[in-house]
Each structure stands twice: as C-alpha cells, then as structure tokens.
Amino acid sequence: MRFRSVTAPSAPIAEAELPRWDLTTLFPSLDSPEFAAGFAELLDAIDSLAVMFDADGVRGGVAVPFGEAQIINLERVLTAMNGVERSLEEIGAYLYGHVTTNSRDDLAQARYSELQERRVAFTKLQTRFNAWVGTLPIDDLIDRSALAADHAFPLRLLHQAARHLMSEAEEALAAELAPSSGAAWDKLHGNLSSRIVASVEIEGVSRPLAMSEIRNLAMDADRSLRMRAWQAEIAAWEANALPLAAALNGVKGQTLTLARRRGWGDPLDASLFWSTIDREILDAMIAETRASFPDFRRYLRTKARVLGRSELAWFDLFAPVGDAGQIWSWEAGTAFIVDRFGAYNGRMAGLAQRSIDERWIDAGPRPGKAGGAYCMSLVGDQSRILTNYSPSYEAVSTLAHELGHAYHNLNEAALTPLQKRTPMILAETASTFCETIVKEAALAEATPEQQLYILEQSLQGACQVTVDILSRFDFERAVFAARAERELSVRELNQMILEAQDGTYGDALDPEARHPYMWAVKGHYYDPDLPFYNYPYLFGLLFGLGLYDAGARDPMTFAERYDGMLAATGLASATELAARFGIDLRSRAFWRSSLDVIRADIDRFQALVE
C-alpha cells in the first residue's frame, strides 16, 4: 500500500456528490458466504504452508551443500509462499478498504483484527523462509533454477537480510506480540484520529467537522476561516495528545529494541537497506536539498507578499494564490487527467479512465474516513484509490499522484508478490511523474493569472516534499535518539517538532503560528514496520523529476523503458535502475539538477508576482 498525506480544499463537500469505490470485485460483502469461504481458505493455506515448512526443514541453521533436492525444495516452497502472500494481500486490502472508509464499521474492524492476529502465523513463516534462504547456496540455485533466476534480486536481498535476524524463537515471539504492541499503537492512531470531530465557525454558524474536513479548510481563500480551522485543529490534537504520545513512544520503543536485537546500527540503517540505497546516496540527496532551502524560503516570502503578509503562518501555507480559472469539479478534474495522460501514452490514459469507469476511487471526505490519500493494489491489475477530493487544482494533482501508483501497480501485475516488493523510495516514482505531466499540461493552457495559481499549487507540494519532509526526517531522528533513553512527553514532542520546523522553514514562517502537533497528524510515524517513511517521498520527487527530464530528451524510446523500469522496481536496486537512464545517485549534481527544475518554477512564480 502507498500513502500520501495531502492538504486540500475550501468548504466541505457533501459526500453524495462524489463517487465511492467498489470492492465487490473481490467479494460481494463482508458478511457474504464468498468472503467467509475466502477467509477460511486463506487460514487453511497458512496452516498448510506451516506443515510444508516443517516437513521440508525450512528454517535457519547450518548451510547444506548444494544438490538437486535443494532446487526442487526451493521451487516448491517459493511457489507456495507466493500463493499464500497473494491471497493475504488481497484479503488484507479488501478489509483495509473497509476500515479506512468507515472506522465505525464494527464488522470490518473485527475481521481486520482477526486477520492481523492470523497474519502473525504467516509473518513467522516469512521469517523462517528468510532465515532458510540465508543458509542456501543462492548463486548456485539461481544458476540452475529458472524460478530462482526470476527471483534473483529479492532472494539475494533476503540472503543478506538473514544476517539481521534474531533466533527463530525470538522472531516468533516478536511476531506474536506485534498485534498487541506496535500494530495496536498504529491502529489506535488511525482509529482515534479518524474519529476526531471539532467545531469551526463557518458563515456565523458553528459546524462540527471531521478532522479531514477541518484540514481541508487550509486552502480556503478566507484567512480568518483558515485561522479558525487551524485553531480548532490544534485544540483537537491537544485534547487527544496524551494517548497519541503513548502510541508514538510505544512504536518507537519497539522499533529501537528490535533494530538493536537484529544487529542494525539504528533504525535508519535498516530502512536504507530495504530501500536498496546507502548513506552516501542519502547524504548527497539531503545535502543538496538543504542547500535549496534559501530558494524555498524565497518562494514562501514571495507568497507572503502576495497575501499581504510580512511572513506566513502555518495556516497560510496552502492559501490559494492567483486565479484557479475554473472550479475543478470531479468531472472536470478526472477528464483533464485522462486527456493529459493520453498525451503521454494511451496505456496510462486507459488506466485512468478504467479507474473511473470501474469505480476504483473513493473520492470524498466524510466522518469516519481516513484523511489524506493512498493507493493500494486490490486484485490482479486493479487498484483502489482513497482521496479526500475538493474542487481544487491540488486535489486534481493528488488524484494524478495516486493514479501514478495505480499505473505502477499495473506494470507489476504479472509479477509474484516476492518479485514486486518495491522499496519505498521507488514507490513514489510513478506518482511524481504523473503529477508532473498534469502540472506541465495545466501550465501550457493557462493565462498568466492561472499559471500563478498552478505554479503556486505545485510549489506547495514541492515545499512539502522537501522542506517539510526534512523537518519530519529530522524530527524522527531526534525522537529515536531521545527515545533510546526514555519516553517522551507531549510537551517534549511538541518542542522537538517545532525545532525541526524551525531548522527547515527558518524565518519564512511565523514562529508563533506553526504546528506543534504534526507528530500526531502524520500516520507514517506510527507504523512499526516503516521507520523513516519520509525521505522516500523526497527521493521519489527528485528521482521522478529526473526521469521526466530524461523522457523529454528522448520521447521516442522513453515510454517503453519507463514501463520496464516500473515493472522492475522489486527486481533491481535503485542504483541499477537509475543507471539505465544515465543517472548516478551518488552524484550531488543529479539531485541538484532535479532541484533546479523546482528552482526554475520558483523563479517563474516570482516573475509572475512581480
């Protein structure tokens, strides 16, 4: 599953105006006999896999000399693993789709909880499989087995990762405790934050709004309304801060403990390993991004002048600038995306049109629905997309972003689950690419006032994925360092996030009007399996911009090579995939060239203003 936090819109939209997705492709309903049978079959398959593992000796231990029996054994086990994981992903996505669109659905919550409990057994088998792969003569098997050769990269990655496993008993205990520890804290955050309601005065009337609706008011043209929404949001997070701080402390404490026991220097080392990059690449990217902060602050100060302010408050960050030119209704926004994707290639446009026709998208905000946006693979080549759409260009851009994830899923549809385990840094590549297609097309057709609006909307997003993302990265590093010693209070977490914001936004934002509860807002902090889910967005933005530039230089062959790269994001390292396009990820010059694309937009924005 891929997630993107978003801000959007002006006034809340009636939920009846926007489409909801159709999950019946997989099962008619949660209480249907078909779902009950599918769920039971999955549980039986997990049990059968455990019997196979016991019979075939699939676990860590002493390496066994290479032989024909190993080839047969690996192919049988690998096929069974992929089959069970595919079923688990499909049913997991089906249930996740229910709980994130209605956190009050008790049946969905119960079945999802049951699946999480039963997933423990599969997680333990995955760990045994990983440990077993670490004992195999992997190169010999890849040379002799076509199936192993097809899975060469993920098998070699698991072979290396086996060095960072605890004993089988310890890993089994960690898996058994997960649903009532890290996963439980993550669930608490999701359920609690999706149910928060606060009142905001709109046109003289106090209206109770869900948190997603309150955050959507950040783009209203009325500054006083934006400020009231921000004040209501801060107050609501403050009222719920204690349990959320407990959740964050619990998740980070567990992540630190397991990283230490598995032999990682710190959680960032583990994150970089699974991202298939190293600190040299990360440091080059971050150093160039920090060097660009004066340009982003120049953009923020220019925006402040347009709004008649000496500096921006947090609730001004997403204020509209320029002339939108049109109300981006759902119909207008989706038609625009399909048309502009078609200018790139018909396959991408067909995917976008299909997502609309086949009801892959749950579009509008409503109480009980998760905020932000995400895309997840459901079954076969189908995806499902959650958004909180508003009639704004930002919402169109967000939808294009999520459709980029769906296009990525389409290119991986023929692969096995093990083959398409895409690292987080590459999961954002197609989404950034699709956002850029829409932005450039919108600019080409716009008047100067409309260009100002579109550029500013694009720069809002770029600022979030550079300046704000690095504040989140800095905050998470600081939290891990402090949490290694003790738990952190709400006050300390607030202070740490404000210090991180000061380090990236600098004097471009009013220090008295920032967001001390962003640690409570962002769900990525609470996933125990995904520490540092922040720098991958930065990587995805800059890598995607670099690829877009490569496509502009060689449009004749690019589309085919690009689709091939998307299909291979789980089959090669990021470094290797980048090299196919002549990109050296260790070179600061590459990251600088991608940031130059954003600098050019800042220059253009400033020129239009002046």
pLDDT digits (tens, 9 = 90+) for 70-105: 899 999 999 999 999 999 999 999 999 999 999 889
Mean pLDDT (whole number) for 379-401:
92
Residues 6 or more apart from 71 whose CB is under 8 A from it? 141, 144, 145, 148
* pLDDT exceeds cutoff 60 at 7: no
**What tens digit of pLDDT does each residue of 185-196 get?**
999 998 899 889
Q: What is the pLDDT of residues 410-420, one digit of tens each?
A: 999 999 999 99
pLDDT tens-digit readout, 179-224: 899 999 999 998 899 889 999 999 999 999 988 889 889 988 999 9
* Length, in residues, of the chain: 610
Residue 2 pLDDT greater than 60, yes or no: no
> What local confidence, expressed as pLDDT, does residue 15 receive?
42
Mean predicted confidence (pLDDT) in 476-494: 97
155-169, 312-326, 355-369, 514-528: the lowest-pLDDT one: 312-326
The whole-angstrom separation of Cα 384 and Cα 97 is 8
pLDDT digits (tens, 9 = 90+) for 234-248: 999 999 999 999 999
Q: How far apart are CA 243 and CA 468, in angstroms?
A: 24
Mean pLDDT of the chain: 92
Q: What is the pLDDT of residues 518-568, one digit of tens each?
A: 999 999 999 998 899 999 999 999 998 988 888 877 777 888 899 999 999
Contacts 24+ apart (CB under 8 A), 207-212: 209/12, 210/365, 210/366, 210/367, 210/368, 210/369, 211/236, 211/371, 212/365, 212/369, 212/370, 212/371, 212/372, 212/388
Q: Which of 577, 534, 285, 600 is nearest to 430 (CA)?
A: 577
Q: Work out whether strand 382-386 and strand 361-362 pair parallel, antiparallel, or are unpaired.
A: parallel
Question: CA separation (Å) from 148 to 162, 246, 412, 519, 577?
Answer: 17, 44, 18, 42, 20
Q: Looking at the DSSP assignment, which residues form a beta bridge with residue 373?
A: 4
Structure token digits, residue 17: 């105006």
Residue 501: both structure tokens together:
């914001």
454 vs 293: which has the higher pLDDT: 293
pLDDT confidence of residue 550: 81
The dihedrals phi and psi of 255, each to the nearest 5 degrees, come to: -60, -45
With 80 as the cut, is the pLDDT of residue 50 above it? yes
pLDDT value of residue 448: 87
Return the SS3 of 556.
helix
Cβ–Cβ under 8 Å, residues 565 and 580: yes
Backbone angles phi, psi at 207, to 5 degrees: -120, 130
Question: Binning pLDDT at 50, 70 and 90, where does residue 169 land?
Answer: very high
